[in-house]
């Protein structure tokens, strides 16, 4: 999969004339693409990899909602069927060898068609970056990190794409009005480089001014998106989260998406995640890890250039006599104990994602149905109907690994809940149990398993007598 995307991405997104520089950038992109999936939210993974449980919101608190299970589940590309002729394909796999007691693991997979050549006039981009330049962004080199990432994003835009830049501290200001990139590319780079840090953080005003610029070219044939990059410490202007979310949704309803990029270890992850969810965009985190810095902006660019469908929802329906005992990650809407619906972020080309659940079966009626609906020149629908068999041990060799990642991420969330409540005994027990579980599986050499294992290994047992939530 990495090899198939490599030449296309490098040739289309990196128009660099200097051959030596071109080779270096290609090498960077190749290593990045082979280590992490592009086109889906990974904010929780990046933040926890960088900060561990030292990630705080603006109130100085750890929040278990900062750990998003599906971000961990979908960080890597999955071994599921990828469509050749259709834009989207569903798959269904199951394993009877993980649980026992008439319980089995069900996996519904969703894959989108690989990226194709971008034709002239196709998937034009109308993007606005809203950059936090408040005083808090000056610490830990966050502002410089953000500026480098934005310039990398602009490198991938074509001359015909629209770009605008808004910066904010306690006030918001348009640095680059919505304009065709074309001859303005050099001036755009110069403007980005000259941004300096300022005062407090008025995210709402920055966001609203950014939406105003995006709306100027929110027309047919253009994928319009606002991308906010901030440390999320909203302390000036409108600070009521519900009002900020409502202000954003008014523009989302006009077809403008929003993605969020968090920087640093004190961001308001809840607000950024909710903004992205409401706008059906992606939520990212940019720490000190160079891989994540590059990945997030290539991901955003590719999702704009190669969008498959908007407002997707997946419905999974089991026959009478089957019951969903546990659904891993996401925000599932249970229509019944055997039927669930999940609203997910907009579909981008070349991505895979999975939906995992533990199912209890007390029936011989074993037909399971999954349906995907999304918007692309009208409402599109894709269905898959699978005959489950209790006699078949497993239909996909990757199921065990996917379950382990989902289980570990879920337990990480449990550990965070105990950590937040200052229940250090329960926290320590959870950490030890999950480390023992991973060791017992014997597959820590697997890159995707090791990603979580390394996180748990750094979460040292804490003595309750010396523990302080804000340290």
Average pLDDT, the chain: 82
Residue with the larger pLDDT of the pair 60 and 163: 163
| Calpha distance 292→238 (Å, rounded) | 30
Q: Which of 11-15, 279-283, 288-292, 397-401 has the lowest mean pLDDT?
A: 11-15
pLDDT tens digits, 15-47: 333 333 333 222 222 333 334 566 677 777 777
- Asked if the model's pLDDT at residue 458 lies above 90, the reply is no
400: exposed, middle or buried (Cβ count in 10 Å: 0-12, 13-18, 19+)? middle
| Calpha distance 149→364 (Å, rounded) | 54
Q: Which two tokens stand for residue 315?
A: 């419905």
- Asked if the model's pLDDT at residue 6 lies above 50, the reply is no
Per-residue pLDDT at 23: 30
- Asked if the model's pLDDT at residue 63 lies above 60, the reply is yes
- Asked if the model's pLDDT at residue 430 lies above 50, the reply is yes
Tell me the range of 78-87, 237-246, 305-314 where mean pLDDT is highest.
237-246
Residue 152's H or E segment, with its range, is helix 142-155
| Calpha distance 125→127 (Å, rounded) | 6
DSSP 170-202: SSEEEEEEEEESGGGHHHHHHHHHT----S---
Provide Rg for the chain, Cα atoms.
22
Residue with the larger pLDDT of the pair 455 and 127: 127
Strands 280-286 and 257-263: parallel
Strand partners, 261: 229, 284
- Asked if the model's pLDDT at residue 391 lies above 80, the reply is yes
Q: Which of 61-75, 151-165, 196-210, 369-383 has the lowest mean pLDDT?
A: 61-75
Q: Which of 73-77, 296-300, 361-365, 377-381 has the lowest mean pLDDT?
A: 296-300
The residue ranges of DSSP E strands in 40-137, in sequence order, are 88-100, 103-112, 124-132
180 closest CA partner among 228, 225, 216, 226: 216
Residue with the larger pLDDT of the pair 278 and 115: 278
Per-residue pLDDT at 51: 66
- Give the rounded percent of residues in the chain with a pLDDT score beyond 90: 43
Pinpoint the alpha helices (H) of 395-423: 399-420
pTM, to two decimals:
0.79
CA 459 to chain CA mean position, Å: 23
- Asked if the model's pLDDT at residue 53 lies above 80, the reply is no
199 — pLDDT class (breaks 50, 70, 90): confident
| Calpha distance 382→391 (Å, rounded) | 28
pLDDT tens digits, 264-288: 767 788 888 889 989 888 888 776 5
- Asked if the model's pLDDT at residue 403 lies above 90, the reply is yes
Per-residue pLDDT at 455: 79
Residue with the larger pLDDT of the pair 215 and 364: 215
- Asked if the model's pLDDT at residue 60 lies above 60, the reply is no
Q: Which two tokens stand for residue 240?
A: 């009521």
Expressed in angstroms, the distance from the first to the final Cα of the chain is 43
């Amino acid at each position: 999969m990495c090899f198939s995307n490599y030449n296309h991405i490098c040739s289309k997104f990196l128009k660099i004339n200097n051959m030596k520089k071109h080779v270096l950038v290609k090498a960077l992109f190749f290593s990045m693409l082979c280590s992490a999936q592009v086109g889906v939210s990974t904010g929780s993974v990046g933040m926890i990899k960088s900060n561990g449980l030292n990630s705080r919101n603006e109130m100085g608190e750890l929040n278990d909602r900062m750990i998003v299970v599906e971000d961990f589940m979908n960080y890597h590309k999955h071994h599921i069927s990828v469509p050749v002729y259709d834009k989207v394909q569903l798959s269904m796999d199951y394993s009877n060898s993980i649980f026992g007691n008439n319980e089995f693991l069900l996996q519904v997979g969703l894959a989108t068609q690989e990226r194709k050549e971008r034709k002239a006039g196709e998937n034009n981009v109308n993007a606005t970056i809203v950059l936090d330049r408040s005083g808090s962004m000056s610490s830990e080199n966050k502002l410089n990190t953000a500026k480098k990432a934005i310039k990398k994003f602009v490198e991938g835009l074509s001359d015909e794409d629209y770009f605008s830049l808004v910066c904010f501290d306690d006030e918001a200001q348009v640095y680059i009005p919505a304009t065709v990139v074309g001859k303005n590319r050099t001036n755009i780079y110069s403007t980005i480089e000259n941004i300096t840090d300022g005062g407090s953080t008025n995210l709402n005003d920055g966001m609203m001014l950014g939406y105003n610029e995006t709306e100027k070219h929110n027309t047919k044939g253009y994928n319009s998106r606002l991308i906010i990059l901030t440390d999320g410490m909203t302390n000036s202007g409108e600070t009521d989260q519900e009002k900020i979310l409502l202000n954003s949704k008014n523009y989302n309803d006009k077809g403008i998406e929003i993605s969020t990029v968090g920087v640093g270890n004190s961001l308001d992850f809840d607000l950024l995640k909710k903004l992205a969810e409401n706008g059906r965009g992606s939520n990212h985190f940019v720490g000190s890890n160079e891989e994540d810095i590059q990945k997030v902006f290539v991901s955003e660019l590719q999702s704009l250039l190669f969008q498959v469908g908007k407002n997707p929802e997946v419905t999974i329906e089991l026959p009478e006599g089957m019951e969903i005992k546990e659904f891993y990650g996401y925000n599932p809407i249970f229509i019944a104990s055997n039927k669930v619906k999940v609203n997910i972020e907009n579909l981008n080309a070349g991505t895979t994602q999975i939906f995992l659940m533990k199912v209890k079966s007390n029936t011989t009626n074993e037909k399971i149905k999954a349906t995907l609906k999304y918007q692309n020149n009208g409402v599109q629908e894709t269905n898959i109907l699978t005959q489950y068999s209790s006699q078949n041990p497993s239909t996909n060799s990757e199921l065990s690994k996917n379950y382990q990642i989902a289980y570990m991420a879920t337990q990480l969330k449990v550990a965070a809940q105990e950590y937040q409540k200052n229940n250090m005994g329960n926290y320590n027990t959870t950490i030890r149990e999950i480390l023992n579980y991973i060791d017992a599986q014997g597959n820590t050499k697997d890159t995707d398993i090791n990603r979580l294992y390394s996180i748990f290994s750094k979460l040292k047992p804490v003595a309750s007598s010396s523990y302080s939530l804000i340290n």
